[in-house]
Amino acid sequence: MGGTIIGKAIRKHCFVVSGKKGMVIKMYLFCMKCGNKLVEGEGFCRKCGYVLEPPEQPPQGYAAPPPVPPEQPQGYAAPPPVPPTPEQPQGYAAPPPVPPTPEQPPQDYYAPPPPPPPPQTQPPTFGGAAQATPKPQKKLVIGLAIAAAVFLAVSVVLAVILLTSGNADVSLTAEELLELGEECLSNSEYDQAVAYFKKLIVTDPSEPKGYLGLADAYLGLGNDLKAEAALLEGLGELPGNATIKARYESMSASNTPTPPPPVDTPPPVDPTPPDTEPPDTEPPAPAVMRVGISMPTKSLQRWNQDGAYMKLMFEEQGYVVDLQYGGENEAPVQVSQIQNMITGGCDVLVIAAIESGSLGVVLQEAADKGIKVIAYDRLIMDTPNVDYYATFDNTKVGTLQGEYIETQLNLKDGGGPYNIEFFTGDPYDNIINFFYGGAMEVLQPYLDSGVLVCPSGQTDIVQVATVNWDLVYAQVRMENLIYTYGYSPTGVKLDAVMCSNDSTAQGVTQALLNAGYTAENFPIITGQDCDLVSVKNIIAGTQSMSVFKDTRILAAQVVAMVDAILNDRTVPVNDTWNYNNNVKNIPSYLCEPVLGDANNYATLLIDSGYYTEDQIYG
C-alpha cells in the first residue's frame, strides 16, 4: 500500500493512501494530529475532534470549494455554523455533534474536477456534494472482461496445442483432414501437413490426394526419399491410379543419375607394325557386383549384427555392399531405400521386411530389371517376386519355447492350474505363424485340459500380436493385464508368459518389475534372439530363456546363396515345401536354432565369440 499527500491543508493533517482490493481502488485519510483513520464524509477526527484545514490553494486542475455549496443533494442537512475557536480556522463549520444519519448520503472531501484530457480519476472535492461511482457496475464490467480474456486465452492455447501436436481430432472426416492438410501446404506448414495427410491415409486409404499431399509435404521438408516412399505406398494401395503413377515415375526419373554424354575422340593410333603379331594382353577385369542389404531397424542388437556380418563376408569375397536400416521399423523408409538400391545398380537384394505388404510395387520393379530377391528371416508375402528364403527353423523356435515352459512347470505330471499369458510379434509379419504355431502345438493340450489357464482368455494370435514387435506396446499390454487380472507377487499368481522374441520379453519384464516383482518371484519368461539386454536379464533372473539363432551361420548361408546366384550355380536350399507366401512355395534354407538360458549362455555366447565378456558383464 502506498501513500500520497495532497494539498496544503491535507498535507498538514492527513495522508491519502491508495490500496487495491480486487479491481477497486480505495482511498483512506488519516489525522495528522493523532494518526486516527478518518471516516469518509466527515471533516473532523472522531478521536481528537480536530477539524481539517482547507488547502490554501487547490491543487492544479481541482475546483476550489465555494464557501457555501450552491446546491445540496435533496434531503441533505448542512452542519450548523459554529463560532471559530483558536483551534478552528476562521470561516469553517464545526462538526455536528453526531455524524450524519444513515438516511443522509456521505459527504466526500473533494469534488471531482472536470475530466481533463486524457481522462483520469480525481479525488472528491472537500465540502462538495458526494459523487457516487457505480462500483457494482464497474466490478461487473471488469469481471466480464476478465472472464472473456481468460476464455480467449484458453481457446488460443488449445488451438495451438492441437495444431502444433500434429494430431488432428480423431473425429475429423476425410474431407476435413484433406482441407486442413492442403491449407497447411499453402501456408508452408509442412510438419503439420504431414500429420494431417498421414491421418487422412489411415482414415481413407482409397483417397489418392492423401498420398500426393504427403509427398508434397515431404518435398517441402526437403526429404525426397520419404516423398517417393509416400507415392510408392499410394501405388501399393491404388495400383491403377494414373496420377500417383505419373508423379512417382517423374520423381524416379529426376532422382536417377544421368550418365555423361559420350565424348568424341579420335581412334587410337596402333603402334604395332602391320606385319607383326600384337602382344598378349590380359583379359578385362570382371565387373564388380553389388549387393543391397535392407534390415528393419538398428534398435535391436541382432539386426545390427546380422547386417554387419553379411557386409563383412560379402566384402571379403569382393562384392560392393549397400547396407541400409529402415529407421525405427518404418516401412516407407525401407521401400525408399530399396528403390535407391535398384536405381543404384544392385544385382541382388537381401531383405528383412518390415511390412511385406508394402513391398509389392518395388519388388516388381526389381523383377523387371532381373534383380533376384532373397527374403531374410522374414518371409515376404503376397508377391511372386521373391526368389529364395533364408531363415532358421522358425517352427522349432516356438517348439523350444513351449517345451521350456512344459519342463519348468512339470506340466506332464499334471498339477496346476498354472496361469499363463501370451505375446507374439507384428500381426503383418508372417513369421509369427511359425513361432506361435510351434509353441501352441506344445501348450494347447494343457490349455484344453485345464492344467494351464489363461485368465485373460487372450490366446488367439491376433489378440496376442504386438505391433512392430515393439517392447513399449508389449509393456503397456502387460501392465493392462496386471491391472485387470490382479497379477502381483502377493495377489493372483502369474506362472509364465510365453513371449515369441526378446523385444516383447523385455517389455513384459519391465512391466513386472514396475509391479513389484523380483528375481525371487518372477514368472517364467521366454524369448528369442539372445539380444544383449535379454542376456543380461537372464543373468539377473528377470528372463528365463532365449532361443539363440547364430546370425553368423545365417549370414554365411546367405552369402553362399548370393554367390551361387551371381555365378550361375545351383543355389543351396534344404526346404522347398513348408514356406508358401500365398503366391508360391519359396525355396528356403533353414538353419538350426538352439536354446539358451542361465546354464549355458557363457558357452553358447562368450566361448563362441558371439559376445565378449565386457559386453555381457560390463
Indicate if 111 and 248 belong to the same structural domain.
no
Helix H or strand E segment including 320: strand 320-325
For residues 454 and 447, give the distance between their C-alpha atoms in angstroms, rounded to a whole number: 8
Grid-cell match 502506498, residue found: 2
Indicate if 509 and 525 belong to the same structural domain.
yes
Indicate if 408 and 356 belong to the same structural domain.
no
Question: What is the pLDDT averaged over residues 97-109?
Answer: 45
Q: Tell me: the pLDDT tens digits for 76-97?
A: 444 455 444 444 444 444 445 4
Indicate if 529 and 420 belong to the same structural domain.
yes
Indicate if 121 and 224 belong to the same structural domain.
no
Query: Beta strands 109-110 and 125-126: pairing type?
Result: antiparallel
- pLDDT for position 416: 86
Indicate if 542 and 557 belong to the same structural domain.
no
Domain total in the chain: 4
- 447 Cβ contact list (under 8 Å, min separation 6): 453, 454, 459
For residues 207 and 237, give the distance between their C-alpha atoms in angstroms, rounded to a whole number: 10
Indicate if 299 and 430 belong to the same structural domain.
no
256: nearest Cα among 287, 231, 224: 224
**Ramachandran angles phi, psi of 102, nearest 5°:** -60, -25
> 17 has which bridge partners?
3, 28
Indicate if 374 and 475 belong to the same structural domain.
no
- Three-class DSSP category at 391: strand
The residue range of the domain holding 223 is: 174-255
Q: Please indicate, yes or no, if residue 142 is contained in any of the structural domains.
A: no
Cell of 212: 500426393
Q: Please indicate, yes or no, if residue 438 is contained in any of the structural domains.
A: yes
Q: Residue 107: which pLDDT band, with cuts at 50, 70 and 90?
A: very low
Domain boundary among 76, 105, 133: 133
Indicate if 424 and 541 belong to the same structural domain.
yes
Grid-cell match 456534494, residue found: 129
Q: Please indicate, yes or no, if residue 269 is contained in any of the structural domains.
A: no
Indicate if 308 and 409 belong to the same structural domain.
no
For residues 376 and 556, give the distance between their C-alpha atoms in angstroms, rounded to a whole number: 12
* Cα 498-504-505 angle, rounded to 5 deg: 60
**Which string of b and e fits 459-469 if b means at least 16 CB within 10 Å?**
bebeebbbebb
Indicate if 199 and 70 belong to the same structural domain.
no
Q: Residue 155: which pLDDT band, with cuts at 50, 70 and 90?
A: low
Question: What is the pLDDT averaged over residues 18-30?
Answer: 47
* Contact predicate 389/400, CB 8 Å: no
Query: Beta strands 16-21 and 24-29: pairing type?
Result: antiparallel
Give start and end residues of each alpha helix (H) in 238-295.
242-255
Does 52 or 464 have the greater pLDDT score?
Answer: 464
Does 390 or 131 have the greater pLDDT score?
Answer: 390
Residues in the chain, how many? 618
CATH number of the domain where residue 185 is located: 1.25.40.10
Q: Residue 227: which pLDDT band, with cuts at 50, 70 and 90?
A: confident
Question: What is the pLDDT averaged over residues 31-39?
Answer: 66
Q: Please indicate, yes or no, if residue 153 is contained in any of the structural domains.
A: no
Q: Please indicate, yes or no, if residue 604 is contained in any of the structural domains.
A: no
What percent of the chain has a predicted confidence (pLDDT) above 90? 48
Question: What is the pLDDT averaged over residues 347-369?
Answer: 94
Q: Please indicate, yes or no, if residue 434 is contained in any of the structural domains.
A: yes
Q: Please indicate, yes or no, if residue 52 is contained in any of the structural domains.
A: yes
Q: Tell me: the pLDDT tens digits for 267-324?
A: 544 544 445 455 555 555 456 899 999 999 988 778 988 999 999 999 999 999 999 9
Helix H or strand E segment including 388: strand 388-392
- pLDDT for position 20: 40
| Burial of 594 per CB tally in 10 Å (0-12, 13-18, 19+) | middle
Indicate if 490 and 405 belong to the same structural domain.
yes
Q: Residue 28: which pLDDT band, with cuts at 50, 70 and 90?
A: low
Q: Please indicate, yes or no, if residue 261 is contained in any of the structural domains.
A: no
* Contact predicate 498/466, CB 8 Å: no
CATH number of the domain where residue 312 is located: 3.40.50.2300
Q: Residue 225: which pLDDT band, with cuts at 50, 70 and 90?
A: low
